[in-house]
Amino acid sequence: MDIFDWIEDLSEELREAGQYRVVELINRIPHELHDNHPERVEAMLPEALAAARALQNPWLEVFFRHWGLQNRMRNLAEGEKALPEAVSLLEFAHRDETQQCPQSVCVTQDIAICYGNVDGPGWVPERLALSEETLARIEPSRNCYDCISREYALALMDGGRADEAVTYLQAQARNMLRDGGEPGVAYRETQAGALFRAGRCEQALAALDAIEEEELDDDDDGDRLSRATFRALILARLGRMDEAWDALPPYGPTVVPLLYPNWSEAVALIAAAKPEHNHWRLGRLLATMVSHMDRVGAHRRCIELALRHGELALLRKAGWTARRALAIARRHLPLLRSDLGAGELIAAFAARVDALDAAAVPSMPAEAVYEHVRDDEGSDPEQDIELLLAAYRERPDDGPLAGLLGSAMIACGSREDAIAHLWEFVRRHPQSEDAPASQLLEQLLDHGEAEAEIGRLAALVEPERPAFAHWCRAQLAFARERWSEVGEHVERLLTHVPDANGARRLWARAAMANQDFDRAVGLYAALAEQSEEPGGDDWDLMSAASAAGDWPAVRRSAARLGMQLSSEDGPVRESWGWLRLRYEHDGESYDCLGSRTGPVTAEVVTVAAPGRPQHVRDEVVFDAAPLEQAPEDEAEREHWLTPFRVVHTRRRADYRSWFVDGAHPGESAFEAMREALEAQQWSVWVRSGDDYRVRDPKQDEDAALPGLYFFLATPPQVAPSQVDSRLLELTAGWEHPLSWLQLAEQAGADTGRHEAIVEAYGL
């Protein structure tokens, strides 16, 4: 059975069973993966797996676990870290109840990818054998044939057989075309990669150009970003550095770890040729990449990235950075399955590190180093770190100096070293109120072992600094979203430091997150009363009070802030124009248009597409701190709407939306329909632009009419059949009928009518 046929049939079954959210997850998880949003996949995956298990559908579990692994190994480039799950899923996918699942073939590919991530060249024979065995079981017309053929070719390339990979990929492509399949975008890029590895750079560029020109259906944001990165590398290898720099995508969240090898090699070639690009900020970025490969057990990639990072550091005369890169490379050498020359490369790099002139480090009295570094606005942390290390060796009990050294390590991207350094100081000085303990807490909050490590830190400092120990535990509880526990620790902290208002604010934020609005009102009210001038605490108080329905408290803070409200009692209900309301869902942020009804309240106006989270006509409370600053350009500011984060929904409307499409009836007819619908408290949200056109069925094929499509949102108590009837009534007599196929299906109405409209107008 073809994977896509299976998924289509399964999705239809789930829709009929009312499992719309599961269908959304089936579609969105692969989509977000291919668009390089690993954090969104991670956010959705637990819910997806729970749903598959609740439905007792092991095939669906294979599907979701496979895409979870693809995210870890494709986007996040995990090696040894992902191997246990890859092995576990392989066993699960070959049980009696799952071995016929079409996705089980893909699980075999997961193992091959994982071996490639751990040590691609070291696992070449196993990768070739695994791919060959799998290809023997599938037809060339299946999508899996494309995927597994790529794995075989990548193994050939890692084995130094790039010319053979070029020939192999051509033959496999012919097999696909012969059987009615077609090589996808990723396959075509792999062909370009084989040409590049074979030294045929111009042909590789031409292959990338051909992909762009053909505008293939399966092209996506992730593929385009990968090609742009690869293009920059080829141009750099050809010595065309300015073109390479222009082609290289700026580093950002969508430059996922799988792109690190090509991205880093391209930037290293450019920076070596053009020293103006080789600075400590680039070093910090490459150090972050190395640290990632270190954490996920991608051993050979870690070594290659570390040496690349270290070579650029040597060019910058950044000895500490180079030595750290060398240490990481050495640590991963024994973890390779086969050396294959890695040891020689590390030894050669070590010799260059040893030859670096130690005299290049300027000397300075230890007692002067702290102020020199702190006061230098153009500070270069890679150069400062040598001064700081020398001074710290002389003054190991100097807390401010220890803190500044930790900051320099963090600035250089050496977070693990910074944590080790800060631990060393805090263990010797648990009573110190200098920066290192707070810096250590800040770093540990983002650390994988935060729970145990912060517990150790709190226990260490508690005899001397009990308030800070409770602060550590409160911060950990907040980071882990254990909201009630935050208050318990802050209460204990306040017995030692009654005026610790920062801790009170943390407690208030936790109370808001826990929807304990009355407590949040009390905490913010106490903070506002202590302030001589109205300010942020008053705004936060209004958010808490609006969520709690404590309108007198809202009015008191509004008065303190000099705000004029139109009424003196009861709920605040103003008409203060428009704003953007920002939501977070499945790791994704999105904005809705809102009508501001008070200092921190609004009603959502935007109608979301069917199947998407729907907020229209919800009454919400938002945080008053703007999420973005207005643009400086006056023309841009004229149409600017400030975005604010939604913190609570006071009243959920629970509307659902329908898609309506067709030829535009003219402004007068459309506005009459809109007014009639909105008079019933329904919402219309036009999504088509002025350039939208549909086919004119009364003319020849090239004739077009102005088109219109919109979302119609209706209250939950209104049945689909009622919506269908009302639309039929309001559009009766129009020359060109509209289509609402999804609504008709839900209403049990004549879908043939709508299918005919879709066909006639080319919708």
* Residue 31 within any structural domain of the chain: yes
What average pLDDT does this structure show over 25-41? 90
Residue 42 burial by Cβ neighbours in a 10 Å radius (0-12, 13-18, 19+): middle
Q: Let me know whether 431 and 380 are in one domain.
A: yes
Share above pLDDT 70 across residues of the chain, in percent, rounded to a whole number? 98
What average pLDDT does this structure show over 436-460? 89
What average pLDDT does this structure show over 158-170? 96
* Residue 609 within any structural domain of the chain: yes
* Residue 284 within any structural domain of the chain: yes
| Dist. CA 313–CA 317, nearest whole Å | 6
Provide the residue range defining the domain that includes 133. 120-219
Q: Let me know whether 330 and 434 are in one domain.
A: no
What average pLDDT does this structure show over 569-586? 90
DSSP string, 21-64: HHHHHHHHHHHHHHTT-HHHHHHHHHHHHHHHHHTT-HHHHHHH
* Whether residue 359 has pLDDT greater than 80: no
Q: Let me know whether 436 and 293 are in one domain.
A: no
Question: Quick one: CA torsion of 197, 201, 203, 205, rounded to 10 degrees?
Answer: 110
Instruction: Give strand pairing partners of 660.
Output: 710
Share above pLDDT 90 across residues of the chain, in percent, rounded to a whole number? 69
What pLDDT sits at residue 369?
85
Highest mean pLDDT pick, 108-117, 215-224, 462-471, 567-576: 462-471
Boundary residue ending a domain (521, 542, 570): 521
What average pLDDT does this structure show over 177-194? 92
What average pLDDT does this structure show over 494-523? 95
Residue at 32: amino acid letter: E
If you average pLDDT over every residue of the chain, what do you get?
Answer: 91
CATH at 157: 1.25.40.10
| Dist. CA 370–CA 355, nearest whole Å | 29
Residue at 588: amino acid letter: E
What pLDDT sits at residue 520?
95
Instruction: Quickly state the pLDDT bin for 492 (edges 50, 70, 90).
Output: very high
Instruction: Quickly state the pLDDT bin for 100 (edges 50, 70, 90).
Output: confident
What average pLDDT does this structure show over 384-394? 91
Q: Let me know whether 508 and 403 are in one domain.
A: yes
What pLDDT sits at residue 644?
94
Q: How far is CA 120 from CA 156, 349, 547, in A?
A: 10, 22, 55
pTM: 0.82
The predicted-structure confidence for 198-209, as pLDDT tens digits, reads as follows 999 999 999 999
What average pLDDT does this structure show over 228-236? 97
CB-based contact 397:405 (threshold 8 Å): no
| Dist. CA 117–CA 109, nearest whole Å | 12
Q: Which of 598, 582, 599, 601 is nearest to 590 (CA)?
A: 582
| Dist. CA 306–CA 268, nearest whole Å | 12
Least confident span in 35-49, 348-362, 484-498: 348-362
* Residue 254 within any structural domain of the chain: no
What pLDDT sits at residue 746?
87
Q: How far is CA 556 from CA 505, 518, 565, in A?
A: 20, 16, 11
Q: Let me know whether 379 and 515 are in one domain.
A: yes
Instruction: Give strand pairing partners of 588.
Output: 585
What pLDDT sits at residue 735?
87
The count of domains in the chain is: 6
The predicted-structure confidence for 581-601, as pLDDT tens digits, reads as follows 999 877 778 899 999 999 999
Q: Say which residues have a Cβ less than 8 Å from residue 706's Cβ, sequence separation at least 6.
A: 663, 664, 690, 692, 693, 694
Pairwise pLDDT comparison (376 vs 722), residue with the higher score: 722
Q: Let me know whether 21 and 80 are in one domain.
A: yes
Least confident span in 21-30, 193-202, 297-306: 21-30
What pLDDT sits at residue 360?
57
